């Protein structure tokens, strides 16, 4: 009888307790204790609406629509903070949000434009630093690598303010700017170079090119506009492979200078070696080339300088004359006796005849030459070491015929 009463009591308790427990709370034995499942015996699934309580405050998890299939949310094995979509900016990330890469990294903008902006006024706004002991590599490389580009610029530096330098390059005891490969250096704006400069490729300057430091041009420099050398504060020298101009203005190796004004007197020096002297009858020596259509040469003077060798030259009835290549004489006969057969160095000054009447056909576009008018060539000087130098002064006129 006592056993039956105890059984009935347990059934009544269970009948009232189970519905209350199922409809209300599943509680641990005390605060901050108890587990749902354990290692090796985890719950397979739980079912709830979307309310969770933490310290009496409701925490909700809500699906956007009814799931149509199983969904998986994977938590990485890292510490961190879960952010709401409303807290994540859709704008470009700030520079200070870019942390060190864990491997070689590529930022691909694909078909989008990337822009970095800053409103700083008291320090550099964007800096890329090479901190390693690197070799022949670049701290920053900008390249056009793929695609079939037909125009455009790989690197464009634009300064919107007249007080801002578009590009400032500073180096420590090495090449500052190097242009290599097949590309040439083309400068289309005013340019000022205040340091030493070496250009080893073709350089084209279509505006002002100002150099305040030592500059070496190891190739062609083409200036497509006005060119000014010097500013009256220093000297200029030209040292080419065949002619020179010193800092004092002395010119050497310059055969002639062409001027538009017919009043200009040209000067040239023509050498005549021993074989040339001994062949002046058969092969007259050209002193001034034919000047061109409708132009003729006016001889101002000639100076013949004989550089005596080991033995004298010989002549019989042989004299010299300066003539046009047509055969018309410009000077009177140049007596050879006492000159060509001299046994010492000797100089003879020759002037044109006082009055020379020459037809246009015999003078226009004709060369000026030195000719032996005698009955034979000069001989003698067995050592063949006597030579002749002729210095000619002349003008070039346009006939206008």
The 10s digit of each residue's pLDDT in 271-310 is 999 999 999 999 999 999 999 999 999 999 999 999 999 9
Does residue 222 lie in a domain region? yes
Does residue 374 lie in a domain region? yes
Residue 357 shares a structural domain with residue 274: yes
| Order of strands across the sheet that contains 238-239 | 238-239, 244-245, 251-252
Does residue 287 lie in a domain region? yes
- Which among 245, 275, 291 is the end of a domain? 245
Residue 290 shares a structural domain with residue 362: yes
DSSP H or E stretch at residue 362:
helix 360-363
Residue 296 shares a structural domain with residue 346: yes
Residue 234 shares a structural domain with residue 331: no
Q: What is the pLDDT of residues 346-368, one digit of tens each?
A: 999 999 987 677 889 999 999 99
Q: Is 244 helix (H, G, I), strand (E, B) or coil?
A: strand
Q: How many domains does the chain have?
A: 2
- Domain span at residue 362 reads 266-398
- As a whole number of angstroms, the distance between CA 304 and CA 319 comes to 13
Give the model's pLDDT for residue 250: 85
Buried b (16+ CB within 10 A) or exposed e, 244-283: ebeeeeeeeeeeeeeeeeeeeebebebebebeebbbbbee
Residue 370 shares a structural domain with residue 288: yes
Does residue 166 lie in a domain region? no
Among residues 304, 368, 392, the alpha carbon closest in space to that of 342 is found at 304
Determine contact, residues 318/380, Cβ cutoff 8 Å.
no
- Specify the CATH number for the domain of residue 306: 2.60.120
Residue 275 shares a structural domain with residue 393: yes
Residue 289 shares a structural domain with residue 394: yes
Beta strand ranges found along 84-157 (DSSP E): none
- Which among 245, 276, 297 is the end of a domain? 245
Does residue 62 lie in a domain region? no
Residue 359 shares a structural domain with residue 329: yes
Give the model's pLDDT for residue 111: 82
Does residue 361 lie in a domain region? yes
- As a whole number of angstroms, the distance between CA 353 and CA 333 comes to 10
Residue 315 shares a structural domain with residue 387: yes
Does residue 296 lie in a domain region? yes
Query: Would you state the structure tokens that stand for residue 271, as one six-digit string?
Result: 């050498």
Indicate yes or no: pTM above 0.75.
no
Instruction: Flag whether pLDDT at 187 surpasses 90.
Output: no
Residue 234 shares a structural domain with residue 280: no
Q: What's the farthest any 2 CA atoms get from each other in the chain?
A: 179
- As a whole number of angstroms, the distance between CA 124 and CA 190 comes to 26
Using CA atoms of 140, 141, 142, 147 in order, give the dihedral in degrees to the nearest 10.
-150
Among residues 386, 123, 147, the alpha carbon closest in space to that of 274 is found at 386
Q: What is the pLDDT of residues 24-75, one digit of tens each?
A: 566 777 777 777 777 777 776 666 665 565 666 666 666 666 778 887 888 7
Residue 304 shares a structural domain with residue 220: no
Does residue 143 lie in a domain region? no
Give the range among 171-180, 362-371, 373-382 with minimum mean pLDDT: 171-180
Residue 305 shares a structural domain with residue 204: no
């Amino acid at each position: 009888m006592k056993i039956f009463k105890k059984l009935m009591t347990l059934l009544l308790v269970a009948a009232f307790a189970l519905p209350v427990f199922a409809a209300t709370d599943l509680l641990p034995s005390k605060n901050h204790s108890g587990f749902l499942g354990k290692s090796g015996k985890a719950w397979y699934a739980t079912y709830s609406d979307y309310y969770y309580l933490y310290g009496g405050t409701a925490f909700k998890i809500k699906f956007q629509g009814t799931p149509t299939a199983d969904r998986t949310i994977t938590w990485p094995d890292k510490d961190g903070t879960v952010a709401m979509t409303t807290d994540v900016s859709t704008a470009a990330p700030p520079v200070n949000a870019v942390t060190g890469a864990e491997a070689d990294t590529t930022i691909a903008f694909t078909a989008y434009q990337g822009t970095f902006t800053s409103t700083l006024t008291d320090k550099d706004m964007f800096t890329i630093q090479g901190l390693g002991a690197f070799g022949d590599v670049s701290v920053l490389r900008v390249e056009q690598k793929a695609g079939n580009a037909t125009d455009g610029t790989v690197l464009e530096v634009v300064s919107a303010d007249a007080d801002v330098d578009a590009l400032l390059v500073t180096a420590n005891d090495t090449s500052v700017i190097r242009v290599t490969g097949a590309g040439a250096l083309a400068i289309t704006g005013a340019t000022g170079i205040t340091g030493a400069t070496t250009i080893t490729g073709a350089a084209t300057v279509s505006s002002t090119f100002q150099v305040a430091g030592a500059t070496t041009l190891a190739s062609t420099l083409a200036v497509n506009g006005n060119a000014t050398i010097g500013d009256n504060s220093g000297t200029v020298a030209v040292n080419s492979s065949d002619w020179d101009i010193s800092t004092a203005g002395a010119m050497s190796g310059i055969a002639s200078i062409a001027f538009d004004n017919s009043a200009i007197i040209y000067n040239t020096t023509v050498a005549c070696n021993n074989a040339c002297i001994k062949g002046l009858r058969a092969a007259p020596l050209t002193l001034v080339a034919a000047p061109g259509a409708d132009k003729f040469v006016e001889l101002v003077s000639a100076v013949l300088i004989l550089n005596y060798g080991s033995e004298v030259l010989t002549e019989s009835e042989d004299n010299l004359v300066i003539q046009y290549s047509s055969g018309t004489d410009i000077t009177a006969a140049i007596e050879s006796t006492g000159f060509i057969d001299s046994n010492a160095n000797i100089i003879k000054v020759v002037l044109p005849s006082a009055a020379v009447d020459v037809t246009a056909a015999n003078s226009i576009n004709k060369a000026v030459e030195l000719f032996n008018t005698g009955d034979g060539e000069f001989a003698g000087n067995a050592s063949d070491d006597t030579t002749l130098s002729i210095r000619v002064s002349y003008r070039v006129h346009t006939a206008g015929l």
